[in-house]
Amino acid sequence: MDGTNRKDIHIGQTVEVVQKPHQRTGQLTEGVVKRILTKSVNHPHGIKVMLESGVVGRVKKIV
């Protein structure tokens, strides 16, 4: 499942995100959602979240 819809993403869920500096390479970082930062219902590039590790990125895959 991709991370373009806010309703599919919940705090405590494991996801894979792409960070801003890694957008060209597509390198993914896995972690647990701490905060959901995007306010809109959906976003074509993925919902922006903060992981428990402090990493901020857009959700590309829900694990």
Give pLDDT, residue 29.
97
Give pLDDT, residue 1.
82
Domain parsing of the chain, residue ranges? 6-62
Give pLDDT, residue 19.
97
Q: Which residue reads 């903060």 in tokens?
A: 50
The pTM for the full model equals 0.92
Q: How many residues does the chain have?
A: 63
* pLDDT digit string, tens, across residues 11-23: 999 999 999 999 9
Return the SS3 of 22. helix
| Fold for the domain defined by 6-62 | SH3 type barrels. (2.30.30)
Q: Which residue reads 């590309």 in tokens?
A: 60
* pLDDT digit string, tens, across residues 5-55: 999 999 999 999 999 999 999 999 999 999 999 999 999 999 999 999 999
Spatial separation of the C-alpha atoms in residues 28 and 41, rounded to whole Å: 23
